[in-house]
Amino acid sequence: MPAYSFVIRSLAISFILASSVAAAADLPRVPLDKSQFRRPVAITRLDETTAVVANRCGTLSVIDLENWTVAAEYQLGGQPTDVAMANKQLLVTDSARDRLIVISISREKATVDSELPMPTYPQTVQVAADGKSCTVASRWARKLTFVTPGDEPVVAATIDLGFCGGEQLFIPSMSKLLVADAFNGRLAVVNTDTHEVEHLHEFGGHNIRGLALSTDGQTLLISHQILNDAALPRRSDIIWGVMVDNMLRTAKLDDILNGKSGAIYSGQTINVGYAGQGAGDPDSLFIDQAGRAVIALAGVDEVSIGKPFSRAFQRIGVGRRPIDLLPLAEGRFVVVNELSDSLTLIDMTKKVASASGVHSETSAEKSREKKSEAETPAAKRSENSHPYKDEYDDADADDSKYGDKSAYNSTANTYGSSYQGSDIYTSHLSLGPTPELGSAERGEQLFFSARLSHASWFSCHSCHVDGHTNGGRSDTFGDDTEGAPKRVLSLLGVGETGPWGWNGKKTTLPAQIHQSAASTMRGKGLSDKSASDLAAFLKTLQPPPPYEPATTPADRALVKDGRRLFESLSCTDCHTGTTLTSRDVYDVGLVDERGLRKFNPPTLRGVGYRENLFHDKRAGSLEEVFTKFDHQLEQKLSDEELSSLLRYLRSL
């Protein structure tokens, strides 16, 4: 099959020289007692006894795995999003500065060896098994960059993915790479020799956060969610996972690599939640040597462990929002807890003296007993017990203590698992002291918590992935009607785009949040303080970068022509100002299933990222808005006019 993507080759010597910034600068150490929100996002193994954690605040934490302590912390700056090791060098993607940073690091010293400019918002980095190549997926640029690592790393090629890149997985012994859509249900098969996208699989899912192979290498496993646009946000539909489902999906790897039609649908779907006990937001995933699937359940602050095909999983409480996993040895792994600034060590091989909470200690453990007061075997718990007090249970709760490892009391839930009746050893490590949570920090915890929904099935993030959108439709009752599902809007920049809701009836952001919590999530509800906290967090979300900014004089002239046409067609009556929206509702000539025809116009910032438009996604592309639906046009546009108008809109 011919590749649909085009390749931008990086062979010119001038480009290679320009793309590698020789920094060779030592990173300053951060005092381990410095109070800050670190927000760990990714972890990698430095050597047998050391790991490195990339923190969203711009630091790198070096972890002593033997003594289970933070050995050092270095100030890198920017906003790290992922980390990997290649030939004893650390590779860090920095979304704030659009860089891949190459670092030599140890417990004693960290030095930036070089930096490579990357397309906008590098999200993930993956290293091939032989360490001779790596790839960087850039979210907003929708590109994949191939890099040859080393003392002087080189960009070998950059290709267009056609979607916002997210999770990646190299296929061992093959020149193949899988890249998942960061938001929607798409999976690309990339040939790493020819630098081409060979196949693109699409399925009815979203929020793909984990890719892994079975122990025999024959089956691909994917952790993701599904939003059912035919379901209603009633407790009966929520509690059985009808509205939002959290799952593992399996597929034959050969079928995926060969581009077989329906390959993803031909496998099994395995629910990781249960009626009354949802598993909101499955995230990072790996398969251990015993064939057990280990899944971080980011929305419920737990990790799920079990044999996928036996459909029996055990769940263990960890820190707030577990989003990355690092296997250490058979039955041992580390969990990265983003919103509690902590790590959790889980050991299924350590012997426990009894089920009463006493575990066997080695002499090394006894010597550091005071440093590890939080170490405890996981024990079964009731449904309502959890290591953390949920914010919406007590709006005035002081969550600042959650950064302290002494606050942990990890527990496990067993659902028909082979581990039933056994204890699992857990140990929690704080990456450092944290300040008292402010309103936006409390709101962030609420946004990513599936415990806001009935039976913990989904969070705000489940539909508004990382604050953006999952691209689906949902009947949320938000427009005071039933049976008219609407497109899930992006929340990026939402603080500036009131009023809220498709019918524009909510004049404040907290009012819209109360509406969503009550009519969509059907949980315990939110206090006014919690709604204000959530609004404070949403106001920190910036709009996406321009989709295709003009880069040449001719291109800028075309964008300018399109802007003039946009104004002459009176598009600015509805899409006005810097936010490109307005506070009114308008009859747009489109009627929903309940006869409604007046809607509040969504912002056009980042409109190029949207693949389906209007309230119900009836327009399959930006072109169709004008060519198929003649949106607010008094007459047909000429080809030249359409070209300039679309170019302007895609520059936003």
- What is the pLDDT at residue 389? 43
Residues 522 and 513 sit within 8 Å (Cβ to Cβ): no
* Dihedral of the alpha carbons of 565, 571, 577, 580, in degrees to the nearest 10: -110
Facing residues of 438 across strands?
A: none
Distance of CA 52 to the CA centre of its chain: 20
Q: Is the pLDDT of residue 451 over 80?
A: yes
- What is the pLDDT at residue 281? 98
Arithmetic mean of pLDDT, 87-111: 97
Higher-scoring residue by pLDDT: 400, 112: 112
Please report the beta strands in 450-572, taking only residues with DSSP state E, as ranges in sequence order.
Answer: 473-474, 486-487
Q: How confident is the model at residue 359 (pLDDT cuts 50, 70, 90)?
A: very low
Residue indicated by tokens 């607010």: 632
The sheet with strand 282-287 has its strands ordered as 282-287, 293-297, 302-307, 312-317, 412-415
Reported as a single tens digit per residue, the pLDDT across 106-130 is 999 999 999 999 999 999 999 999 9
Reduced to 3 states (helix: H, G, I; strand: E, B; else coil), residue 296 is strand
R_g of the chain, CA atoms, integer Å: 25
Retrieve residue 198's tokens. 């060979």
Reported as a single tens digit per residue, the pLDDT across 300-343 is 999 999 988 777 789 999 999 999 999 999 999 999 999 999 99
CA distances from 599 to 584, 590, 652 (A): 8, 9, 22
Reported as a single tens digit per residue, the pLDDT across 185-226 is 999 999 999 999 999 999 999 999 999 999 999 999 999 999
CA torsion sign for 543, 548, 552, 554 is: negative
Give the integer Cα–Cα distance in Å for 454 and 226: 17
- What is the pLDDT at residue 422? 47
Single-letter residue type at 502: W
Note the maximum CA span of the chain: 83
- What is the pLDDT at residue 351? 63
Reported as a single tens digit per residue, the pLDDT across 46-72 is 999 999 999 999 999 999 999 999 999
Q: Is the pLDDT of residue 297 over 80?
A: yes
Q: 0.85 exceeded by the pTM?
A: yes
Closest by CA to 182, choosing from 147, 156, 214, 211, is: 211
Higher-scoring residue by pLDDT: 355, 6: 355
Highest mean pLDDT among 115-124, 261-270, 630-639: 115-124
Query: Across all residues in the chain, what is the average pLDDT?
Result: 86
